[in-house]
């Protein structure tokens, strides 16, 4: 039966879609005995204060392999929300629920063992719509990216990473792509940071569990993700067929931020019994509450918080790592790198290619400056990259010439700049073509610079000032701070080469 929906009644549309979605998921096989096991394992209390009523959309569409544990994941998630009072759930496979007018009604989106190119509409999804599959898919992609960047949570169970390989931004958003599962047996797990707010409920530094264990490929990287659980290679069988990674890095769970939003992924959940394991349900409860905004946790990437490998560029005692005009940049009485008017740019003596740059910066009122990287000092305007540093904290939306922008090329995902006179922490991560900028704990740029393949043109069709396509700019160059005639200060500047 064909249904027509009025734009003037979004609540009615949402109710009908929710009902349709519930039927598609609830028909799965969760036996009464399994329901009892799940209810017995569900935690009784929320991990943190529930700051406001939360709504979680469980998306369970798979194009390809259908995990038998899909209904168990949906049932356990609903039971956790009801028992703890931390969230209420809507379960669906109706792609219309992912359109912005419907998705915005939720605080989080949970990808429940999804597989395949589910972002691509099926024929039935076009019924009643006057648009092509490509047009609808473009809307759906942007809807999800905007939802998370605007503060929505994204949660993935198990095969959520076995999805949408044709959509590179999805892989970066979630954190990586599936790349075979050598293990389907009991394995050892290392809890990378037992004291982390999302790990301490595991109550162990190591444990053993039986499930199908994934390995991941690009864009997975500890340069981009805070990894919380890893396969213990010392206590797991490492002579399995199809082990493809050579670095021993087999992550199991991680978190990250994206704009104002938060992402939590756990690869456990192939087997149904994962969803009546009390330890894993406590951990998933905490991860969901983190994504929804009720649990605070540091999500800076693992390699960024690891002190090993950093080189000090400025610690308040010396400017020896820099080249600049005599007397222009000074160390003031508070141990800050301070700019005097007319000083000119300041550049690192050493060039860097792939690196993590970690610094703090404070601006004066109406300040206009920038952090340059992979740049030629004799041609900074055209010979490298600049992250804008300006006094634009009061702007509700930052553009391509405001603080956090990749100058003239990409607006920040969100305006995370603090007001003039307050310190901001900025982390810039360059890893081949991938550039990530984290400002005050929020990912404000998450780019593949290879997409800028046309001179004077951005991927969105807008013009930029660069006579050379950004893709063609050197991948190795100097780090520098701009003199634009207004005071600003830096401290705790360090860099970790990744080459």
Q: Would you call 156 helix, strand, or coil by DSSP?
A: strand
Looking only at the bridges linking them, the beta strands covering 88-92 and 55-59 are parallel
Indicate the range of 93-107, 168-182, 236-250, 273-287 predicted with least confidence. 236-250
Looking only at the bridges linking them, the beta strands covering 177-178 and 216-217 are antiparallel
Calculate the average pLDDT of the chain.
92
- pLDDT confidence bin for 48, thresholds 50/70/90: confident
For 122-161, the pLDDT digits (tens) are 999 999 999 999 999 999 999 999 999 999 999 999 999 9
Residue 445 CA to residue 385 CA, distance in Å, equals: 13
What does the pLDDT read at residue 325?
Answer: 87
Domains (ranges, CATH) in the chain?
10-302 (3.40.50.880), 307-497 (2.60.120.560)
- pLDDT confidence bin for 180, thresholds 50/70/90: confident
Environment class of residue 398 by beta-carbon count within 10 Å: exposed (0-12), middle (13-18) or buried (19+)?
buried
What does the pLDDT read at residue 28?
Answer: 60
pLDDT for residue 340 is more than 80: no
Indicate the range of 211-215, 237-241, 427-431, 470-474 predicted with least confidence. 237-241
What percent of the chain lies above the pLDDT cut of 70? 94
Nearest-CA neighbor of 112 among 146, 149, 42, 163? 163
Q: Which two tokens stand for residue 72?
A: 């168990």
What does the pLDDT read at residue 11?
Answer: 45
For 403-413, the pLDDT digits (tens) are 999 999 999 99
For 352-368, the pLDDT digits (tens) are 999 999 999 999 999 99
For 343-402, the pLDDT digits (tens) are 789 999 999 999 999 999 999 999 999 999 999 999 998 999 999 999 999 998 889 999
3-state SS string for 261-321 = EEEEEECCCCCHHHHHCHHHHHHHHHHHHHHHCCCCCCCCCHHHHCCCCCEEEECCCCCCC
For 185-219, the pLDDT digits (tens) are 899 999 999 999 999 989 889 999 999 999 999 99
What does the pLDDT read at residue 25?
Answer: 46
pLDDT for residue 27 is more than 80: no
Neighbours of 246 (CB within 10 A): 6
Q: Would you call 134 helix, strand, or coil by DSSP?
A: helix
pLDDT for residue 15 is more than 80: no
- The neighbouring-strand residues paired with 489 are 338, 362
Residue 397 CA to residue 412 CA, distance in Å, equals: 9
How wide is the angle at C-alpha 266 spanned by C-alphas 261 and 270, nearest 5°?
140
What percent of the chain lies above the pLDDT cut of 90? 86
pLDDT for residue 229 is more than 80: yes
What does the pLDDT read at residue 17?
Answer: 46
Residue 259 CA to residue 412 CA, distance in Å, equals: 8
Are the beta carbons of 393 and 417 closer than 8 angstroms?
yes
Nearest-CA neighbor of 57 among 95, 132, 108, 123? 108
Mean pLDDT of all residues in 437-455 = 97
pLDDT for residue 80 is more than 50: yes
Say which DSSP state 163 is in: B
Give me the residue label for tokens 């560029």. 313
Task: Find the distance separating the first CA and the last CA of the chain, reported in whole Å.
Answer: 59
Distance of CA 10 to the CA centre of its chain: 30
For 308-337, the pLDDT digits (tens) are 999 999 999 999 999 998 878 999 999 999
Residue 92 CA to residue 78 CA, distance in Å, equals: 13
What does the pLDDT read at residue 425?
Answer: 98
Give me the residue label for tokens 């740059």. 357
Q: What is the dihedral of CA 168, 174, 176, 179, to 10 degrees?
A: -100
């Amino acid at each position: 039966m064909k249904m027509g929906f009025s734009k003037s009644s979004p609540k009615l549309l949402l109710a009908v879609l929710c009902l349709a979605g519930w039927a598609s998921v609830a028909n799965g096989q969760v036996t009464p005995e399994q329901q009892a096991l799940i209810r017995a394992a569900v935690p009784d209390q929320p991990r943190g204060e529930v700051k406001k009523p939360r709504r979680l959309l469980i998306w369970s569409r798979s194009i390809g392999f259908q995990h038998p544990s899909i209904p168990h994941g949906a049932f356990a998630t609903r039971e956790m929300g009801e028992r703890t009072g931390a969230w209420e759930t809507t379960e669906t496979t109706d792609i219309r629920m992912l359109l912005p007018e419907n998705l915005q009604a939720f605080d989080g989106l949970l990808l429940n063992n999804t597989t395949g190119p589910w972002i691509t509409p099926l024929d039935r999804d076009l019924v009643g719509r006057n648009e092509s599959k490509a047009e609808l898919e473009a809307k759906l992609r942007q809807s999800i990216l905007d939802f998370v960047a605007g503060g929505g949570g994204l949660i993935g169970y198990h095969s959520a990473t076995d999805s949408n390989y044709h959509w590179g931004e999805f892989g970066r958003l979630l954190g990586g792509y599936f790349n075979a599962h050598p293990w389907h047996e009991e394995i050892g797990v290392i809890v990378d940071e037992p004291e982390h707010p999302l790990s301490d409920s595991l109550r162990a530094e190591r444990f053993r569990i039986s499930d199908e264990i994934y390995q991941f490929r690009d864009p997975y990287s500890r340069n981009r993700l805070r990894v919380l659980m890893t396969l213990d290679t010392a206590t797991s069988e490492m002579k399995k067929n199809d082990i493809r990674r050579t670095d021993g890095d087999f992550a199991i769970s991680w978190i990250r931020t994206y704009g104002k939003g938060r992402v939590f992924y756990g690869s456990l959940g192939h087997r149904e019994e994962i969803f009546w394991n009390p330890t894993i349900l406590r951990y998933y409860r905490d991860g969901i509450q983190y994504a929804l905004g009720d649990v605070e946790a540091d999500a800076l990437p693992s390699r960024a918080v690891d002190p090993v490998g950093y080189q000090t560029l400025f610690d308040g005692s010396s400017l020896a790592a820099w080249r600049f005009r005599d007397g222009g940049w000074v160390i003031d009485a508070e141990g800050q790198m301070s700019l005097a008017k007319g000083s000119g740019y300041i550049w690192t003596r050493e060039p860097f290619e792939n690196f993590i740059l970690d610094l703090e910066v404070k601006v004066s009122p109406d300040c206009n400056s920038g952090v340059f990287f992979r740049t030629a000092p004799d041609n900074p305007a055209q010979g490298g990259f600049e992250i804008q540093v300006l006094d634009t904290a009061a702007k509700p939306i930052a553009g391509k010439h405001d603080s956090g922008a990749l100058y003239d090329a990409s607006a920040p995902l969100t305006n995370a700049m603090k007001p003039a006179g307050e310190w901001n922490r900025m982390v810039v991560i360059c890893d081949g073509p991938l550039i990530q900028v984290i400002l005050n704990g929020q990912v404000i740029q998450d780019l593949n610079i290879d997409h800028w393949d046309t001179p004077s043109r951005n991927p969105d069709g807008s013009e930029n000032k660069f006579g050379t396509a950004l893709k063609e700019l050197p991948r190795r160059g100097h780090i520098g701070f701009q003199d634009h005639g207004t005071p600003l200060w830096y401290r705790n500047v360090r860099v970790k080469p990744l080459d």
